[in-house]
């Protein structure tokens, strides 16, 4: 019995060296002491030791990549609020909209919330780095913020009484669903 790379090596039936890996599967070693991968789901890690890999997403990740544009919006010398000014701008406008809605200025408050989301979509499109406003890819963030912003603004403009915007087919749909 010989040792290669600190692992005990035994000979298999054909006389070739075989070692037991940490996962319990046999591993062949070549003439240079390098592990040889036996099946499609095992691969050597950075140190060259064979490990069993899986296609299942890990339950705990340590090195998730930051979304594109997810860097600081200001230099690292600036205080934390200044580095995250895009999301603070959106959150401040949404908070003000919620406050106005709570104070019974519902239409203006909800329009302000929708406009804040539309401003977030515009900032995500225009600015190279938006800090924590970047959640996913640039395209996904823009579509999400934009669709939600437009929907909130349209619904706020159609709110009763005295709607600022009337869309006939939506009115007919509403009356149809209430009648039946």
Q: In the 8-state DSSP scheme, what is residue 125?
A: H
pLDDT digits (tens, 9 = 90+) for 59-74: 655 655 666 666 667 7
Alpha helices in 61-167 (DSSP H): 80-83, 85-102, 106-126, 138-157
Would you say residue 20 has pLDDT above 50? no
| Contacts of 34 by beta carbon, 8 Å cutoff, 6+ apart | 48
Question: How far, in Å, CA of 78 to CA of 65, rounded?
Answer: 23
Give the whole-angstrom CA distance, residue 121 versus residue 114.
11
Kindly state the tokens that stand for 143. Answer: 């579509």
Residue (of 77, 112, 74) closest to 93 by Cα position: 112
Q: Provide the pLDDT confidence category of residue 109 given band limits of 50, 70 and 90.
A: very high
**What does the pLDDT read at residue 167?**
80
Q: How confident is the model at residue 1 (pLDDT cuts 50, 70, 90)?
A: very low
How large is the average pLDDT for residues 11-40? 58
């Amino acid at each position: 019995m010989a040792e290669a790379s600190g692992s005990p090596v035994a000979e298999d039936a054909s006389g070739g060296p075989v070692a037991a890996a940490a996962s319990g599967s046999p591993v062949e070693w070549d003439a240079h002491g390098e592990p040889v991968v036996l099946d499609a789901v095992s691969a050597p890690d950075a140190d060259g030791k064979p490990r069993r890999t899986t296609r299942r997403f890990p339950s705990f990740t340590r090195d998730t990549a930051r979304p594109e544009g997810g860097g600081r919006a200001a230099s690292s010398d600036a205080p934390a609020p200044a580095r995250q000014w895009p999301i603070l701008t959106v959150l401040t406008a949404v908070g003000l909209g919620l406050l106005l809605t709570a104070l019974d200025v519902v239409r203006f408050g909800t329009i302000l919330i929708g406009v804040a989301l539309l401003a977030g979509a515009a900032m995500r499109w225009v600015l190279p780095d938006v800090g924590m406003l970047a959640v996913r890819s640039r395209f996904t963030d823009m579509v999400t913020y934009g669709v939600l912003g437009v929907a909130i603004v349209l619904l706020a403009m159609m709110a009763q009484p005295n709607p600022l915007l009337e869309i006939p087919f939506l009115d007919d749909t509403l009356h149809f669903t209430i009648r039946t």
